[in-house]
Structures are given as C-alpha cells and as structure tokens.
Structure 1
Amino acid sequence: MLRRTLIAVMTGGPVGAAFAQVGGTELFGEKQIVRAVQEGDDEKVRAALLRRESPNQTANNGVPLLIVAVQAGHVAVFEVLLKG
C-alpha cells in the first residue's frame, strides 16, 4: 500500500486539492515543519504534528510537504506525514 502511494505521488497521481496551505509555527519566515521535512528529520515532523500542525501544508514554493519528502528521498518523513 505504501509503495503504491509513494509511486502515485512520485508520478503526479491524485494529490491535488487535498493539499492546502495551513498556518504553522514560523521561524524566520519558514515554518518549522517545512524545515524539518526538507532536512529529513522525522522526529521533528512528528513533534510538529503532535502540536497539531497540518501534514497538508505546502513549502514556501507551494509544493506539498509529501512531495518535498519524496523528492528529497526522505521515506521516514513521508511515512510520518502520510499517517498524519
């Protein structure tokens, strides 16, 4: 199931409207969850989600966090975001 989802995301599968920009804790204009996803820090991502930050946010360039994790090869972060 996870492999199929990962492949669908990587090939531009159905991800569209499910991802919306949602506010979060910002540090120097960048949300902490965004930085954690970009750095591949699954523990910080999990902590952000426990603080009720949405996994459906987008990075500063408008790319959904799931896509950011996939493009960077951060499988553990992808799984944390997917489980929400």
Structure 2
Amino acid sequence: MPPMDIATYRKEKGLSQSAFADLLTASGSPATQGLVSQWEKGATIPAERVVEIEKATGGEVKRHSLRPDLWQTPEAEAAA
C-alpha cells in the first residue's frame, strides 16, 4: 500500500481540513484549518507534529510518509 498523506487520509475519511484540525486538537495537538492547508501545500511539518498526526490517525498516516528525511519505513529500519 502506498504511503498515505494528510489529504488522502482526509478524503478517505470524508473530513474537511477544519475537521482534521479538530481531530488533532481533540487528541491534544492544537491545529487550525489554515495550518492543515499549509501542510497539504507542502510546508514542512515539524517532527513533533508528525508523531502527533500519526497518533491522531491511529497510525494510518505514518510518520515516515510525512517526513522521510527523519524516519525510515519499518522495512528499511529492519534491513539496516
């Protein structure tokens, strides 16, 4: 399965950017629609937010798909 980004996750779940921001906020990571929009347009997501997004989405959006410069896929880590 290809890596899932925020926009794909939102579309699959039928969430607006505001609803996704609310999901993050409810999980303890305050966010706004504007911030989600910036991330979807390619703004770098801070490392700590990537981990929070992974948790808020139940692991469906993986940290390595959002910041491959910081985290490897589990397969790559196992091979290392």
The structure in which a higher percent of residues are strand is 1
Q: TM-score range by the shorter chain?
A: 0.3 to 0.5
Structure of greater Rg:
2
